[in-house]
Amino acid sequence: MVQQQYQTCIEACNDCAAACEHCAAACLQESDVASLAHCIATDIDCAQVCRLCVSLMQRGSKLATDLCNACADVCDACGDECAQHSHEHCQDCAIACRRCASECRSMAGMAQSQVRPAGMPAGH
């Protein structure tokens, strides 16, 4: 049940992790790898955070919401980095990162609204 509730976010995180791993590997094949070092490192970080989010969501961990909020920030940073490079794999990664950031924020907001005590307004 929990996995179905978060399925869109799980898929976005898996897609983002795959795009980041592909981007990092492809960057290593480019002629000027040194100029892509930050992109590669950010891709690896983002992929690992996304994979951890998937694991937490799949087992219904109470930490999933907090980590998904952090994952959105990591995805934003990775998307911003990748968007600076003209390589197709970087551009594809930037798109996947932005989608994942959006899905993670949506999931975290949905999860937080479900655990709010009765009568407590949003944002408290």
Residues 6+ apart with CB under 8 A from 12: 96, 99, 100, 102, 103, 104
The pLDDT score that the predictor gives to residue 110 is 76
Q: Is the pLDDT of residue 20 over 50?
A: yes
Res 19: pLDDT: 98
Q: Tell me how crowded residue 20 is: count the other CB atoms within 10 A of its CB.
A: 32
What per-residue confidence (pLDDT) applies to 109?
83
Domain range summary for the chain, segments of one domain joined by +:
2-114
pLDDT tens digit sequence for 72-118: 999 999 999 999 999 999 999 999 999 999 999 998 887 666 544 44
pTM listed for this prediction? 0.86
Q: What is the mean pLDDT of residues 9-14?
A: 97
Q: Residue 124 has what pLDDT?
A: 42
> What's the rounded Cα separation, in Å, for the pair 96 and 13?
9
pLDDT at residue 67 is higher than 90: yes
In sign, the C-alpha dihedral spanning 26, 37, 55, 2 is negative
Q: Looking at domain 2-114, does it have CATH number 1.20.1270.360?
A: yes
